[in-house]
Amino acid sequence: MVVISDIIVQGVQMLLVLLLAPLLTGYVRKIKARLVRRQGASVFQPYRDLLRLLRKEVVLADNASWLFRVTPYITFAAIWVAAALVPTFATGLLFNWTADLIAIVALLGSARFFLALAGMDVGTSFGGIGSSREVMIAALAEPAMLLIVFCLALVAGSTQLSTVSHFLASSYVGLRVSLGMALVALFMVAIAENARIPVDNPATHLELTMVHEAMILEYSGRHLAMIELGAFLKLLLYVSLIACVFLPWQIALYGSGALSYTIGAGAYIVKLALAGFLLALFETATAKMRVFRVPQFLGAALMLGLLGTLLLFVSRSF
Amino acid sequence: MSAVALQMVCVAGLLGLAALAIVLSRSKIATPVIYGATLAVSVIALAGALRSLLGGAADATTLTLPVGLPWLGAHFRLDALASFFLVVINLGGASASLYGLGYGHHDPAPHRVLPFFPAFLAGMNLVVLADDAFSYLLCWEFMSLASWALVMAHHRERGNAKAGYVYLVMASFGTLALLLAFGLLAGPAGDYGFAAIRAAQHTPYAATLVLILMLLGAGSKAGLVPLHVWLPLAHPAAPSHVSALMSGVMTKVAIYGFIRVMFDLLGQPTWPASVVVLFLGSITAVMGILYAMMEKDLKRLLAYSTIENIGIVFVSLGLAMAFQANGLKAAAALAFTAALFHALNHSFFKSLLFFGAGAVLTATGERDMDKLGGLIHRMPFTSFVVLVGCVAISALPPFNGFVSEWLIFQAVLQSPELPQWALKIMVPAVGAMLALAAALAAACFVKTYGVTFLGRPRGTAAEAAHEVDRFSLTAMFILAVLCLLAGILPGLAIDALAPVTTEILGSRMPAQASQPWLSIVPIAESRSSYNGLLVMVFITASASLAVYFIHRFASHALRRGPAWGCGFSDATPAAQYSGVSFAQPIRRVFGTLVFHARDHVTMPPPGDLRPARLRIELHDLVWSGMYAPIADAVGFLSTRLNRLQFLTIRRYLSLVFATLVTLLLVLAIWS
């Protein structure tokens, strides 16, 4: 019986992230539009886009191989599984014990690996430029992410997200400089990984700015829908990650009943709204940077992560 | 028959095959007979080694042969550590022989490869079995010479003569370092048996010297930076299945030597030693993969990537030394298991990738990836198994490379327990270096696979490629399956390694097979756990779910058309991203610092129809800063000393007389 209820709760979580992900993106777009005094599309526009893409035919380049056709599904599946591993409204869910934070980073790495390969599959220069820049950014973002993981693991004594979340929700953590640094660094990594301004611009296809969009330029129809949904999920994943680690309030504990699950879900949606607003504010306030400024941006994240980790050694209370 | 005797019989069989190969060498049946028989012997040796590893290898068996030094004889011993490395060697040997059954047919000069192939395998087996310093060094040298002969198999090809020369110099240098190390270990009494060395007390001074000498000796064979320069020359020069053995297996023999001396013979490791190993390991990991990123020759790239993986293994050995020196038994066992597991994994995927490179070479005759492309359409099976190898080596779940790197990160996370400040601050930085190496490895293998197998063919060779033979495909397929199995059932592999860690460190990781759902749990479930099997099941399930819903409800329409070129269609395949251009962002970020890399673009003025030229300037700072000065100094000295060759008889006699007087004087003053 326990297993069945576990599976149901886990299933609810997986469905929840899948359904909320386009909404979060639509919401961020709406806020951004409002901040620059535009009306903006409805917050439900991403759902409509997805449905429209699903109805369209796929235009496949002559040279595309089987890898090009399976990549959208692999990418989507890897990101979805990674998103299912992050505690959203409750900790200790069934999948939470399957893999830890390092594995989540690696799962996202798998998704990117296949996307970058697919970018090179058709054999145009656009795919190549996108893939090569994407792996460059990833090569810088991953060490920074790992240092953030170290920092969190040293505070909480675990890389298991449920345990981390549980520990940080407890009253005796308090404010710590290390955690502050980790939060800033994680935010910077999340910006880079999700191809947001100032690292990349998710709303343009112009050659000079494109990284992620160039890589998926050849995709169309249902394939593009899967990739877009994967990108929405990835944004949601990073926001949930920040929320469950740094804002773990009202998150339900394992097996604590339907009421606290509902409260947890409500709190989670409030956190998403808050994070989406802050992201839109940040993106409106900054300008896109040159591609070769990105190493400095991510280098700063790396240094913050390392400093946060080293501060923990200097003093237990930091 | 005892376990060690079985192994010795197998070695004798391999040596017999080497002799048979000389007799048969020029006949047509030589290739299938020799590779087939080597395969059979390797499988027997593998089964024996597996049995003694899994079935209580704690009771080591020994064997003494009446050859070698007259008062010593030749001692051989099979314990858990040796069994594990025998598994690695013979698995590699078996797969290389299977691959050779097909690949060997394309060899223009089989008589140059066939005799040395089984001899090389026999040499590697013997090094691991040796139980006294004399046989160890003898077998080590035999292994080096056999592999040198294989490097020189295609000696007329450009660059191979230089590769063989550099390899010979580095191998001799390494053996010299090992000779001195064993001399120090044996001490003034000079007992060369490993049992006696193990029992003796070693002064800290001698232990430090042994560490340095082992890093030079075993490190040069394994490819530690800055002793790695021979490796990217020599490994690709040999035929591809031998490259796989040299890169995937012989480097493991060097690691075995390092472990045997530093953990077993020398007794308890010390923490300052671990700082040195950690430092060299992390530098090696990052430098190796940066070199690989800059490379466009398929086999040289793989050889550089081996350097990276050796760095990773040394990092986790360094962690094991640090924890062991401080008495943190569980953490030491974790780090040591991670090192062995990564060594095993590397032997799987590096052999697989070298086989893949060999298949590409057979099909196209080309090693320069910038002339390939689009092979996924023409070599479907090869491209699939190579993809598995690329994913595995990039440390992505659910394959095996991820598991061992995950274990190393878990070991890094144990560093707050360490009492020394130097280590506390160093270990997280080393962890960041490892993460950088892992991310760069993924970038590097996207480049390798993308440029070689994807895209459009860049030349006629790639256009005319065809799938390779069944033996080669079977060998690659088996290794790909092993990569997946070790990735989804890592608990079984970790449990199999427990006897080794128990023997060497006196502790082991918790039993993993009893964990629910076959998770792996390094310390405790609340700290961290990973379940490769479930991750794979979840990914497969969610991908199938997505496919089902898409094909049930979405549009099925599909149209083939030309790729979209922004209004500039029909670009030549040469306009695709090549390996060089793919590496450009990373070259610009890291290369300016590490290689002094510069891109020079010569652009003709508008209206001029000459093509623009791109020239890339890269400097190997290790070669120009360390080896070139040594080579120059040797050259300078030898030109000067050359004059001695043309003296008159009177001058020779006076020289001899002067030397004699000087020596007598020195002797008089000395005593």
- The tens digit of pLDDT for each residue in B140-178 reads 999 999 999 999 988 888 888 999 999 999 999 999 999
Residue A144's pLDDT is 93
Kindly report the backbone phi and psi dihedral angles of residue B65, in degrees, each rounded to the nearest multiple of 5, phi listed first. Answer: -110, 145
Check pLDDT > 70 for residue B185: yes
Q: How many helices (H) and strands (E) does chain A have?
A: 11, 1
Check pLDDT > 70 for residue B412: yes
State pTM to two decimals: 0.94
Q: pLDDT-based confidence at A209, cuts 50/70/90?
A: low
Taking each helix axis as running N to C, give the angle between helix B298-325 and helix B400-412, from 0 to 180 degrees, rounded to the nearest 10: 30
Measured in angstroms, the CA of A196 and the nearest CA of chain B are apart by 19
Q: Which of B386, B424, B538 to mutate to test the interface with A (most CBs of A within 10 A)?
A: B538
Residue A253's pLDDT is 77
On chain A, the residues whose CB falls within 8 A of the CB of B562 are: 61-62
A9, A261 contact by CB (below 8 A): yes
Check pLDDT > 80 for residue B429: yes
Closest to A235 measured CA to CA, from A204, A189, A198 = A189
The CA distance from B216 to B277, in Å, is 12
- Look at B435 and A143 and tell me if their CB atoms are within 8 Å: yes
Residue A206's pLDDT is 64
- Look at B435 and A158 and tell me if their CB atoms are within 8 Å: no
Residue A207's pLDDT is 60
Report the relative pairing of strands B558-561 and A58-61 from DSSP bridges. parallel
A128 touching B (Cβ < 8 Å): yes
Check pLDDT > 80 for residue A316: no
Across chain B, mean pLDDT equals 91
- 3-state SS, residue A315: coil
Check pLDDT > 90 for residue A187: yes
Please list, residue by residue across B391-425, b when 16 or more beta carbons sit within 10 angstroms of its beta carbon and e when fewer do: bbbbbbbbbbbbbbbbbbbbbbbbbbebeeeebbe
- The string of pLDDT tens digits covering residues B47-93 is 999 998 887 645 678 888 888 777 778 899 999 999 999 999 999 99
CB pairs under 8 A between A and B: 273
- Look at B529 and A100 and tell me if their CB atoms are within 8 Å: yes
CA of A144: which chain B residue's CA is closest? Answer: B432
Euclidean distance between the first and the last CA atom of chain B, given in angstroms as a whole number: 55
Indicate the Cα dihedral angle B552, B553, B555, B556, nearest 10°: 0
Check residue B187 and report its DSSP letter: T
- The C-alpha angle A140, A138, A64, rounded to 5 degrees, equals 155
Q: Mean of the pLDDT values across residues A36-57?
A: 94
On chain A, the residues whose CB falls within 8 A of the CB of B554 are: 54-55, 221-222, 225
Across chain A, mean pLDDT equals 88
Instruction: Please give the structure tokens belonging to residue B666.
Output: 């020195």
The CA distance from B224 to B663, in Å, is 40
Q: Mean of the pLDDT values across residues A251-265?
A: 82
Check pLDDT > 60 for residue A318: no
- The string of pLDDT tens digits covering residues B486-495 is 999 999 999 9
Q: Mean of the pLDDT values across residues A297-318?
A: 83
The CA distance from A63 to A123, in Å, is 8
CA of A60: which chain B residue's CA is closest? Answer: B560
CA of B402: which chain A residue's CA is closest? Answer: A106
Q: Mean of the pLDDT values across residues B183-188?
A: 86
Q: Mean of the pLDDT values across residues B544-563?
A: 90
A137, A298 contact by CB (below 8 A): yes
Find the CB nearest B439 among A66, A142, A154: A142
Q: Could you tell me which residues come within 8 angstroms of residue B595 by beta carbon, excluding any fewer than 6 positions away? A: B290, B294, B587, B618, B619, B620, B621
- 3-state SS, residue B613: strand
Q: pLDDT-based confidence at A125, cuts 50/70/90?
A: confident
Check pLDDT > 70 for residue B472: yes
Residue A315's pLDDT is 67
Measured in angstroms, the CA of A57 and the nearest CA of chain B are apart by 5
Q: pLDDT-based confidence at A208, cuts 50/70/90?
A: low
Tell me what percent of the residues of chain A surpass a pLDDT of 70: 95
Check pLDDT > 80 for residue A172: no
The CA distance from A96 to A3, in Å, is 14
Q: pLDDT-based confidence at A260, cuts 50/70/90?
A: confident
Q: Mean of the pLDDT values across residues B22-30?
A: 85
Per DSSP, helices labelled H in B223-326 are 231-237, 240-245, 251-259, 271-294, 298-325
- The string of pLDDT tens digits covering residues A73-106 is 999 999 999 999 898 888 877 777 788 899 999 9
H or E element in which residue A164 lies:
helix A161-169
Find the CB nearest B539 among A78, A125, A129: A78
Q: Could you tell me which residues come within 8 angstroms of residue B482 by beta carbon, excluding any fewer than 6 positions away? A: B348, B400
The CA distance from B293 to A137, in Å, is 15
- Look at A60 and B543 and tell me if their CB atoms are within 8 Å: no
List, as ranges, residues 24-63 from A with C-beta within 8 Å of B.
Answer: 54-63
The CA distance from B411 to B414, in Å, is 5
Residue B29's pLDDT is 87
Residue B43's pLDDT is 96
Q: Could you tell me which residues come within 8 angstroms of residue A110 by beta carbon, excluding any fewer than 6 positions away? A: A74, A78, B391, B396, B397
Q: pLDDT-based confidence at A317, cuts 50/70/90?
A: low
Q: Is the ipTM of this complex over 0.90?
A: yes
- The string of pLDDT tens digits covering residues B500-525 is 999 999 888 888 877 777 778 887 77
Indicate the Cα dihedral angle A122, A124, A126, A131, nearest 10°: 50
- Look at B519 and A98 and tell me if their CB atoms are within 8 Å: yes
The CA distance from A182 to A186, in Å, is 6
For A126-130, B48-52, B121-125, B156-160, which range has the lowest pLDDT when averaged over its residues?
Answer: B156-160
- 3-state SS, residue B659: helix
The 10 Å Cβ neighbour count of residue B115 is: 24
Tell me what percent of the residues of chain B surpass a pLDDT of 70: 99
Instruction: Please give the structure tokens belonging to residue B657.
Output: 């007389």
Check pLDDT > 70 for residue A205: no
Q: Mean of the pLDDT values across residues B200-227?
A: 91
B458, B415 contact by CB (below 8 A): no
Residue B9 — left, alpha, or beta (φ > 0 → left; ψ -120 to 50 → alpha)? alpha
Residue A68's pLDDT is 95
Please list, residue by residue across A62-91, b when 16 or more beta carbons sit within 10 angstroms of its beta carbon and e when fewer do: ebbbebbeebbbbbbbbbbbbbbbbbbbbb
Q: Mean of the pLDDT values across residues A301-312?
A: 89
Q: Mean of the pLDDT values across residues B327-346?
A: 94
